[in-house]
Amino acid sequence: MSLRRQWKFILVLVIGAIGLICQFGFHTKSFFQIGNLQFPIQAILIDVVGIMMTISLLGEIVSDFKSGRYGVDILAVIAVISTILIGDIWAEWMILVMMTGGQTLEDYATGQADKELRSLLSNSPTIANKIVNSELVSVKVENLSINDHVLIKPGEQVPVDGKVVSGESSFDQSSLTGESVPVHKNIGDELMSGSINGSVAVEMVVTKKASDSEYQTIVSLVESSQAKPAKFVKMADRYAVPFTIISLVIGIAAWIHSGNPINFAEVMVVASPCPLLIAAPVALVSGMSSMSKHHIIVKSGPTLEKLATAKTFAFDKTGTLTENQLVIDEIVPAKGTSFSQELLLSYATSVEQQSSHIIANSLVDVTDKKLLKPATDIKETTSQGISGIVENHLVKVGKMSFVTEEKAASSVNSTAIYISVDNQYAGYITFKDQVRPESQQTIARLKRQSGAHIMMLTGDHQDVAEKIGKTVGVNDIRYNLLPAQKIEAIKQVPKEKRPVVMTGDGINDAPSLTAADVGIAMGAKGASAASESADAIIMVNDLSKINDAVAISKHTMKVANVDVLTAITIVVIIELIAFTGVIPAFWGAILQEVVDMISISLALLAKTTPKNPAQTGIAEPQK
């Protein structure tokens, strides 16, 4: 569609150039003769193109009517037909230029590239290590059958849904479920396709074919959501009906008053909706340019319109409201022992500094290096824990069952490591996902900017979700959600609380970003399925850029609305003058160009930064 409209604009420009050459460059050769009748070649060319464009536009108008939309295109059709009937080819050509130029610019501002699934599909597992007669055979994932046995090597992606039959390891499911900590899987536990194995090879039995597995389900959900976009009435179309009625009334009145249909044509030329067609697209392009300066990539014009009026903002938790990085929550020495919090942390970190486990890395990263002590005789037991000698004491760190057999020791309902010293239970350290420092302020500003309803949609557990949600100021907290359930939560938002803006960063967010009225991806870490499925991408690791996006959108739409209303007012005034018959069609088209230039100049104000940044929440662009 976009390419076809571009070719329309190019065709109109080329025909106009040929027409000018015929009229002013080759006077003796610029007529097509049939008998005694002579027809200017430029008139034939422009009229043919005008008729072609009119027929094409009529098809679009009929399609719009069937879908319940009413635009200003009907005035453009009437204006072109009127200039054809009165034989004013250059007025006709100018209308065609602005009409096709406005459509091309609108496509540039609103045309979202059809590439939502490219990244998701490219990351999809394609090869599996099938076990056949105790040997590994590489096969295509789609050729796996239920009950086949597959080996998942360390760091590999699970190709299809299955169940562990041998070995145990931790699997990173964060991109699928939103859980920030790898999940330990034992024999009998289920594995989801798309999750990534940790440090130990695991054998699994296939329980679902590739087409029915979790990863492919997510791809299907994106396709389904993309195929059913939400209905949205563009700003210019909201002014279409009253503007069309007013223009037709003035034109018909001019015809009746003068008794000459040329007066109707002259009014219709002036009433050509070119300013209306071009004002909004130019403003939207300017707004998109302003967004890019603030490190926000917007793929479509309607995204700005929806952001400006958004009433609900939904957020994923892991990697969006949080940094997807574990930090220490509590250090709890065992009761009745002499271990201090500092000593417990020192012993645990000293042993863990030689481990590659995600919790060990997080512990070492956040601990003061002064607390690190030399550790020797390090022994790591896969999926259980690690032990070593620190200051002549045997220190064990890991699961409760690994560090002690004391019945008095009880586990906690959060991510934790347990410590024993010389086989005596010493206490535990819990971890939490670190909240982004700007999350709380971002949520507060959204509430001030839009009075918005804020939701958090996460696949994480209830206690973790509620703790994070309350910390950042979210009251509507949804937890334990799979991708399909996130989509359902978005669909259930009532009409009075829409448009809905969803922000996320993982593969599991791709369907919900596509299902929302506006999907925003945190794309600072590079292209991802979330980025490909989103309508806008925040290119820096800063959640507060959502405040900038909303502020710029509101400013852009304010400029666009003022621009359109100004253009309509000027056009109506010129129509009333044309009513008297003092403005020929050609000069009416010239006046239209003047109005177009005014509209474009006003629309470019959308590139300016909104005033009162403290009120809008927008910051100066980062260098």
The residue among 24 and 507 whose pLDDT is bigger is 24
Residues contacting 211, CB < 8 A, separation 6+: 142
Distance CA 547, CA 539 (A): 14
Band (pLDDT 50/70/90 cuts) for residue 223 is low
Which of 273-282, 317-326, 445-454 has the highest mean predicted lDDT (pLDDT)?
Answer: 445-454
Mean pLDDT lowest for which of 139-143, 268-272, 305-309, 617-621?
Answer: 617-621
Look at strands 518-522 and 536-538 and give their pairing: parallel
Distance CA 426, CA 340 (A): 9
Is residue 500 within 8 A of residue 518, CB to CB? The reply is yes
pLDDT at 481: 86
Q: Please state the pTM of the whole predicted model.
A: 0.62
Host H or E run for residue 172? strand 169-172
Has residue 18 got a pLDDT over 50? yes
pLDDT at 616: 45
The residue among 230 and 101 whose pLDDT is bigger is 101
- Segment 324-341, tens digit of pLDDT: 778 888 899 988 888 999
- Average pLDDT over the chain reads 79
The encoded tokens of residue 265 equal 């044509």
3-state secondary structure of 315: strand
Distance CA 384, CA 614 (A): 52
494-516 burial code (b ≥16 CB/10 A, e <16): eeeebbbbbbbbbbbbbbbbbbb
Round to the nearest angstrom and report the end-to-end CA distance of the chain: 37
| Most distant pair of Cα atoms in the chain: their distance | 117
Mean pLDDT lowest for which of 214-228, 390-404, 498-512?
Answer: 214-228
pLDDT at 396: 94
Band (pLDDT 50/70/90 cuts) for residue 535 is confident
Has residue 574 got a pLDDT over 90? no
The encoded tokens of residue 167 equal 């070995």
pLDDT at 387: 93
Has residue 615 got a pLDDT over 90? no
- Segment 36-55, tens digit of pLDDT: 656 678 788 888 888 888 88
Is residue 318 within 8 A of residue 479, CB to CB? The reply is no
Short-list 231, 269, 223, CA closest to 94: 269
Residues contacting 209, CB < 8 A, separation 6+: 142, 144, 145, 146, 160
Has residue 225 got a pLDDT over 50? no
CB burial of residue 368 (10 Å; 0-12, 13-18, 19+): exposed
Instruction: Give pairs for 247-256: CB < 8 Å, separation 24+.
Output: 247/75, 247/271, 247/571, 247/572, 247/575, 248/75, 248/78, 250/572, 250/575, 250/576, 250/578, 250/579, 251/78, 251/575, 253/579, 254/578, 254/579, 254/581
Q: How far is CA 520 from CA 305, 316, 505, 536, in A?
A: 14, 11, 9, 5
- Segment 101-128, tens digit of pLDDT: 766 765 554 443 334 344 445 566 788 9
Has residue 29 got a pLDDT over 60? no
Has residue 515 got a pLDDT over 70? yes
pLDDT at 369: 84
Band (pLDDT 50/70/90 cuts) for residue 202 is very high
The encoded tokens of residue 437 equal 């420092």
Q: What mean pLDDT is predicted for residues 158-169?
A: 92
The residue among 75 and 559 whose pLDDT is bigger is 559
For helices 585-603 and 73-86, the axis angle rounded to 10 degrees is 150
pLDDT at 236: 62
The residue among 368 and 585 whose pLDDT is bigger is 368
The encoded tokens of residue 568 equal 């309509």
Distance CA 439, CA 433 (A): 13
Band (pLDDT 50/70/90 cuts) for residue 546 is very high
Is residue 417 within 8 A of residue 397, CB to CB? The reply is yes
Query: From start to end of 523-573, where are the E strands?
Result: 536-538
The residue among 555 and 292 whose pLDDT is bigger is 555
Q: Which residue has the tokens 């967010």?
A: 509
pLDDT at 395: 94
User: Per 3-state DSSP, what percentage of the chain is helix, strand, and coil (rounded to 5)?
Assistant: 50, 20, 30
Q: Which residue has the tokens 């002259």?
A: 266
Alpha helices in 67-209 (DSSP H): 73-86, 89-110, 118-122, 174-177
- Segment 436-485, tens digit of pLDDT: 999 999 999 998 887 889 999 988 778 888 889 999 999 899 988 888 88
The residue among 220 and 17 whose pLDDT is bigger is 17
